[in-house]
């Protein structure tokens, strides 16, 4: 992903000279942090924590270098949402740059569709490395971004109120799909979908609608993924990853799109900082409130990190 440039905040340009747009340093720094978190896996802090079971520090570091089992979130779980968010932030700059070069809306749309297809297939390719045949799954981070990219691109031309409305519709609609999906029959054998019936993260009551591998996203994949050639029929994903997780992933990209429009706006620099800081605090408070109320508005994610039931 090319780093956006602040094309609307350039300094004076000398006659006959090509303007040198300034890089969006904050996005570079954010991307660097996310890449560091990915590469930090090679430190294998979990192995150190096993050797130091009484050290609260090493246990803390190991927790945040691993995915949570199902409920909650660690720093490692935020890697994939961060990539998705960055895609959204970059889009307003990309659209402005292409428009400035005289590209038509149709040409930009075709380019977005091609990029989306490449991302989806690249994700499939990465999942197929080491397999005897093409491994058709779409839970990889790149595939998840690609599946939602065209919708994000089209929203990039819409006003902010419509982007917020799309986000609300996505979150509520996805929540409703899980809430309305029938619960497994009594005695459902979770060992057939990768977990035992004594797994401590199985939820009861209304929250059971979000249990691993017994929800509508899992049911969709047991149909959709078996449309592709496979060595054996698809029954479940061991991590609970699902194709339809691209829907809440799109929600994360829309948040990035909204943030990108703020960064690219004519607001004063500190006004942008205040807006983003307040929005972040509101998001944290809303997430905590929904978690306390037992409402799960996002579910699933890609291969580098994932949002989980909360």
> Which tens digit of pLDDT belongs to each residue from 221-257?
999 999 999 999 999 999 999 999 999 999 999 999 9
Q: Is the pLDDT of residue 259 over 80?
A: yes
Predicted pLDDT at 5: 56
Q: Is 189 left (phi over 0), alpha (psi -120 to 50) or beta?
A: beta
Quote the mean pLDDT of the chain.
Answer: 88
The structure's pTM equals: 0.88
Please, what is the Cα angle at 146 between 143 and 147, to 5 degrees? 85
CB 246 within 8 A of CB 138: yes
Predicted pLDDT at 51: 92
Q: Is the pLDDT of residue 308 over 80?
A: no
Least confident of 22-31, 53-62, 174-183: 22-31
Mean pLDDT value of segment 12-23: 46
Q: Is the pLDDT of residue 9 over 50?
A: no
Name the 3-class secondary structure at 152: helix
């Amino acid at each position: 992903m090319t780093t956006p440039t602040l094309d609307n905040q350039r300094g004076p340009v000398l006659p006959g000279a090509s303007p040198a747009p300034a890089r969006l340093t904050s996005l570079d720094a954010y991307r660097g942090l996310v890449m560091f978190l990915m590469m930090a896996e090679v430190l294998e802090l979990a192995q150190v924590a096993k050797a130091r079971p009484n050290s609260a520090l090493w246990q803390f570091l190991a927790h945040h270098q691993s995915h949570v089992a199902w409920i909650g979130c660690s720093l490692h779980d935020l890697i994939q949402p961060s990539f998705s968010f960055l895609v959204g932030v970059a889009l307003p700059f990309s659209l402005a740059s292409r428009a400035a070069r005289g590209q038509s809306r149709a040409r930009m749309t075709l380019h977005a569709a091609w990029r989306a297809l490449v991302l989806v297939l690249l994700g499939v390719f990465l999942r197929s490395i080491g397999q005897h045949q093409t491994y058709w799954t779409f839970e990889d981070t790149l595939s998840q971004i690609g599946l939602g990219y065209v919708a994000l691109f089209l929203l990039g031309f819409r006003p902010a109120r419509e982007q917020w409305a799309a986000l609300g519709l996505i979150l509520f609609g996805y929540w409703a799909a899980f809430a309305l999906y029938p619960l497994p029959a009594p005695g459902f054998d979770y060992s057939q979908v990768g977990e035992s019936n004594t797994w401590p993260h199985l939820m009861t009551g209304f929250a059971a609608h979000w249990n691993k591998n017994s929800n509508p996203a899992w049911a969709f994949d047991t149909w959709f993924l078996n449309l592709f050639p496979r060595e054996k029929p698809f029954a479940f994903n061991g991590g609970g990853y699902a194709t339809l997780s691209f829907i809440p992933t799109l929600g994360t990209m829309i948040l990035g799109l909204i943030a990108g429009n703020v960064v690219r706006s004519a607001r004063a620099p500190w006004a942008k900082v205040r807006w983003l800081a307040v929005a972040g605090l509101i998001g944290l408070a809303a997430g905590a409130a929904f978690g306390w109320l037992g409402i799960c508005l996002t579910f699933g994610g890609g291969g580098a990190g994932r949002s989980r039931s909360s």
